[in-house]
Amino acid sequence: MIKAILTDIEGTITRISFVKDVLFPYAAGQLPEFVKSHQSDPEVAAQIEAVKAHIEQPEADIDTVISHLIHWIETDQKITPLKQLQGLIWQTGYENGDFTGHLYPDAYDFLQAQKQAGKSLYVYSSGSVKAQHLIFEFSDYGDVRPLFSDYFDTKVGAKQQQSSYENIIAELPFDAAEVLFLSDVVAELDAAKAAGLGTLHLVRDGQAVSDAHPYINDFSEFSAELLA
């Protein structure tokens, strides 16, 4: 019996184009100036060092660090220091009202209904926990953070690794089989299933399905049997 839901964001409850065509270009445009002007801030300094460690260039100058970060945005590489810095940059855009966090209406209705039915809701995204809080605080529906009990990002591990889901379950008051993971990416669902979680594939953009996972095209197709 499913008692909790762990959801991906991009492609599952949020339109991919909001991330790819709004958030990423905004971060790419702001990143060089943000990183240079905030490089002494402890949170930013830590991510700059993490970039240097990732590229194995401990003496890299700030322009080299920035060029790698921009390349990672352009190639959608979910590398943790980039995701942490994006979250810091996006805060300004949300607070300025430059954009609101997209939620599919069917997803919002589904999450509300599950919360009201007593399910615990959690988030696991490549976006940082900071970025997750922001997309929900400044969502199309206002501040929807009360829906969620906790948030996880790639600090627990990459989303296509089984151990990441084992790490998340270790922090929840539920057994793996009591948690349903929602994602648009089969490799993520495979990793979650290997860790013992239930899985449901959101096929919003005509992507290929897998026999290993039940699927729906949107949450209007969700049925109670999927919680059994």
Ligand X SMILES: CSCCC(=O)C(=O)COP(=O)(O)O
List residues binding Mg ion (CB under 5 A).
8, 10-11, 184
Which tokens belong to 25? 């270009």
User: In this structure, are residues 181 and 143 in contact, taking their beta carbons and an 8 Å threshold?
Assistant: no
Range list of H helices, the chain: 16-18, 24-37, 42-54, 62-74, 80-95, 105-116, 129-137, 162-170, 186-194
Summarize as ranges the residues that interact with ligand X (CB under 6 A): 8-11, 19, 23, 78, 83, 86, 125-127, 131-132, 135, 159
Q: Kindly tell me which of 86 and 114 has the beta carbon lying closer to ligand X.
A: 86
Choice between 60 and 78, CB closer to ligand X: 78
Residue 145 contact, options Mg ion, ligand X, none, Cβ 5-8 Å cut-off depending on partner type = none
CB of 9 to Mg ion, least distance (A): 6
Supply the minimum distance, in Å, between the C-beta of residue 108 and ligand X.
Answer: 15
At 137, give phi and psi (nearest 5°): -65, -40
Smallest distance from the beta carbon of 17 to Mg ion, in angstroms?
Answer: 13
Tokens of 226: 């999927």
Q: How far is the CB of 124 from ligand X (least distance, A)?
A: 7
Which residues, including other chains, have CB under 8 Å from residue 19's CB and lie 6 or more apart? 9, 10, 127
Query: For Mg ion, which is the closer residue by CB, 65 or 103?
Result: 103
